[in-house]
Amino acid sequence: MTTNRLAALLLATAGAILFSCQPETPNTEVTSPNGSITAKVGLSNTGQLYYLVQHKGATVIDTSYMSFDVKDQPSFKSGFSITASISETINEDWEMPWGEQRMVNNHYNELKISLEENTVTPRKMNLVFRVYDDGLGFRYEFPEQESVTELLIMDENTEFNLTGDHDTWWLPGDWDIYEHLYNESKFSEIDALSKVGNPNLIATYIPENAVNTPVTMKTQDGLYLSFHEADLTNYSGMTLKVDPSGLKMTSELVGSEILGGKAEVSLPFSTPWRTLQIGEKPGDLIESNLLVNLNDPNAIGDVSYFTPMKYVGIWWEMHIGKSTWDMEGSQDMNTYIEGSKNSSRHGATTENAKKYVDFAAANGIKGLLVEGWNTGWDQWINTEDREGIFDFMTPYPDYDFEEVMAYAKEKGVEVIMHHETSAAPRTYEKQMEEAYNFMKENGMNSVKTGYVGKIIPKGEYHHGQWMVNHYEKVLREAAAKKIAINAHEPIKATGKRRTYPNAIAREGLRGQEFNAWASDGGNPPNHLPTIAFTRMLGGPIDFTPGAFNIKFNEYKEENQVNTTLAHQLALYVVIYSPVQMACDLPEHYTVDGQPHPAFQFITDVGVDWEQSKVLDGEIGDFVTIAREEKESGNWFVGGITNEDSRMQTVELSFLPQGKKYQAMIYKDAADAHWNDNPEAYEIETMEVDASSKITVNLAPGGGFAMSLISE
Ligand code: NOJ
Ligand code: CA
C-alpha cells in the first residue's frame, strides 16, 4: 500500500468515527427488583439516545437508538444532553375486578431521564424506563415547553437490536386486521409481504416487511422474549419493521392518509410503553402482568354491572350458513357469494331467540348474544359507502325485541347487545348515546361491537390514531352508562382493561369463525397453542370456543373445526376471557334428545379466577393451564396440543394440602384425531388431592379438560 493510500484510508476511518453515531459508555442504568434484568441508557457521541437490555448479565437487546421525525421541525434525534435522572421504586398490590387472578403485584424500579437539546431554543424530551422481574417497559414524554405545543409525528424510530437469529412467532404488520395466522420462522426469514392479498380478509393493508405485536421469540439460549406495547392512548398502533439481515426491528407506526403522518399530539404527551416480556420458561410470558401493570389504575370505578359469564348466541349458525344476519336474504357470510339472494333464512327471529333462551336456562348459561336483530344487514358488507346503514335501535319486524327481552328475563338469561358498525365509526358515534340508553332501558349491560370492512373515511386504518381514539371513546361513553364492551376487529389489547375494566374482551385474532368459512381450511391445530404465547399476552380473547359438531357437513362439506372435541373444552381454561361463548347450535349440544355429556364441563367451568398457573407448554406445540375459580375454590385444568399427539402428566400439587376434590376428566378417546375422529372423547371420574398425578393422552389436534370440584 502506498503512503498516500494509507493516509487516505486512515482519514476515511477517522471521518467515519467522527460522523457516524457511536455509543459512549452508558450514562445510567436501572435493574429489576430481583436484579435479573438491567436496562442501560446512554447518549452517543452525537448526542443521540440509546439503550440496551441485559438478562442475568447476557445482552438480549444490543445498543438500540431512538429518535422521532416530526413535521416542519428538525427530528428529535441528536444533540441531546441529559439534564436530570431520577430513580424510584414502587411495590404495591392491586385487585382485578375480574381476571386471571385476583391480586396483582406491581413491583418495579423506575428511571426517568430528562433530555434537552444543545441549541439556542432547546427542545425537551424525557425517557422513562420501568424494569420488572418479568420484563420492562419504556416510554417517551414530551413535556410542556415553550417552543413546542403540538407535534405531527411522521415516524417514531425506536430500535430493538436483537442478539441472534431467534425463532420467531409473528404476524404481518397489517394496519387493518390481526386476523392472520401466526407464522413460525427464524427472525431473518420473516416475510410479511408474502401475506398480502389474503382472500379471507375484507380489510387488509400490509405496506412493508413489518410484524404486528405481540411478537414472541425464543433465543438460542432458551430465553423467551415477547415485544408489545402497553397503554396505547391517543397514538397509533406500533408495528415493528423487520431488518432481516441486520437482526433488528424498528418501530413503524400505523399511518393515516388523512392526517398525512402517524400521530398528532399536543404537549405534554406520553407515548405508549414499548414493552419486552422476558421469561425463562414459555409459561412465564403468560403469567406475566407487565402489560396491565404499565397501565393506569381503574378510572371508571365499580364495574359490578358486568359479571363474567358464559353465553350462547345466534351466531355460529350464520357463519356456517344455516341462517343469515339479514331478513331480506340478500347477504350472508357466503354472499359475499351471490346466489343465496332472496332466500330469507333470517337467524334472529323471536322464535329462534326463545329457543336459545330455553337452552341457556336449562344448562346454566347466563348470557345470550343475538346477531342480526337490527336493520341494515342487507347492505352491511358489499356496499362501498356503508355510512348510515346500521340502525342500533330498530329491530327487524320478525324479531319482537320486547318479547325476547321479557322471555329472557323470566328465565334468568341476560341478553348481550350486538352493534356491528361495518367500520363506519362516525355513524356509530352519532347513535351511540341513544343506543346505549336503549340498552340500559332494556336491562342490557354489555355489547359486542364489530368493525368489519375498510374504515370509513378512506385513508384511516383500524390501528391508526383516529381509530385508537374511537375505540377509547366507546369505552368511556359506555362506562358512563355502565356498559361493558367486547370489541371485534378491535385495536389490540395493551392492558387498558386495568384503567377501563369495562373493556371485557376483544377479538383481534383469527377466531373460531374462520373454521366455518375460510377458504384456506380454517385454523390449523397449532393455532391456539401458538396464540396462548402470542396474542393472549395482550389480554382477554373472545375466541368463541365450544364447537361439538366438528365437521358440520349438514351445512358445509368444505369446512370444519381442526381440533378434537376435548380440545374445544380445554379452551375454556386455556384461552382466557371473562366472557366465554358456547358457540355451537343448541341441537349440537344434545345426543338423542338428551344433553350432551361433555356439555357438563361447559356448565361447570369457571369464568373468573382467583389465580392461574401455567403448568407446562412449548410455543406452538402444547400448553397446559390450571385456574382456581374465585369464591368456590374449584380448580379447572385445560391442555391442548398441535397436530402431534402427546402424553401429559398433570401433578395436582397446586391444590391445597389435605383437601379432597372430585375430578372429572374429559379427554380424547384412544382413537381420536382432529380430522379422522374428532368427536371421540371419554369422561373419567375420580377422587384426587394435592398428591395426585393424572396422566392423559392427547390425540393429534386434541386436548383435555378437568374440573376439580372441592368436596
Ligand atoms: C365479525 C365478527 O368477528 C363476528 O363474530 C361477527 O359475527 C361478524 N363480524 C358480524 O358482526
Ligand atoms: Ca372477526
- Calculate how far, in angstroms, residue 488's C-alpha sits from the geometric centre of ligand 1: 7
Residue 338 pLDDT: 44
Please indicate whether residue 513 is annotated as part of the active site. yes
Sign of CA dihedral 538, 542, 544, 546: positive
Q: Alpha helix (H) ranges present in 88-219?
A: none
Mean pLDDT of 82-98: 97
Residue 382 pLDDT: 67
Closest ligand 1 atom, residue 420 Cα: 11
Using 50, 70 and 90 to split pLDDT, how confident is the model at 331? Answer: low
* 507-530 pLDDT per residue, tens: 999 999 999 999 999 999 999 999
Q: Whose CA is nearest to atom 6 of ligand 1?
A: 450
Q: Whose CA is nearest to atom 10 of ligand 1?
A: 420
Using 50, 70 and 90 to split pLDDT, how confident is the model at 131? Answer: very high
Using 50, 70 and 90 to split pLDDT, how confident is the model at 328? Answer: confident
User: Among 324, 390, 449, 452, which is best to mutate for testing ligand 1, by the most ligand atoms less than 8 A from CB?
Assistant: 452
Residue 342 pLDDT: 53
If we measure between CA atoms, which residue out of 285, 145, 299, 153 comes closest to residue 231?
A: 299
* 420-476 pLDDT per residue, tens: 999 999 999 999 999 999 999 999 999 999 999 999 999 999 999 999 999 999 999
Residue 334 pLDDT: 53
Q: Cell 355460529 maps to which residue?
A: 316
Domains of the chain: 3-293 (2.70.98.10)
Question: Which residues have C-beta under 5 Å from ligand 2, the single-atom ion?
Answer: 488
* 216-233 pLDDT per residue, tens: 999 999 999 999 999 999
Query: Would you say residue 14 has pLDDT above 90?
Result: no
Give yes or no for residue 347 CB within 6 A of ligand 1: no
Which residue in 513, 610, 629, 643 is the catalytic one? Answer: 513
* Between 2 and 253, residue with greater pLDDT: 253
Give yes or no for residue 333 CB within 6 A of ligand 1: no
CB-based contacts of 529, cutoff 8 Å, min separation 6: 617, 619, 620, 621, 622, 623, 640, 641, 642
Decide: 81 and 169 in contact? Cβ < 8 Å.
Answer: no
- Calculate how far, in angstroms, residue 333's C-alpha sits from the geometric centre of ligand 1: 9
Decide: 691 and 665 in contact? Cβ < 8 Å.
Answer: no
Give yes or no for residue 510 CB within 6 A of ligand 1: no
- Calculate how far, in angstroms, residue 510's C-alpha sits from the geometric centre of ligand 2: 7
DSSP 53-80: EEETTEEEEEEEEEEEEETTS--B-SSE
Closest ligand 1 atom, residue 315 Cα: 7
Using 50, 70 and 90 to split pLDDT, how confident is the model at 384? Answer: confident
What does the angle CA 554 – CA 597 – CA 673 come to, to the nearest 5 degrees? 60
If we measure between CA atoms, which residue out of 66, 37, 270 comes closest to residue 161?
A: 66
Neighbours of 528 (CB within 10 A): 30
* 334-354 pLDDT per residue, tens: 544 444 455 678 999 999 999
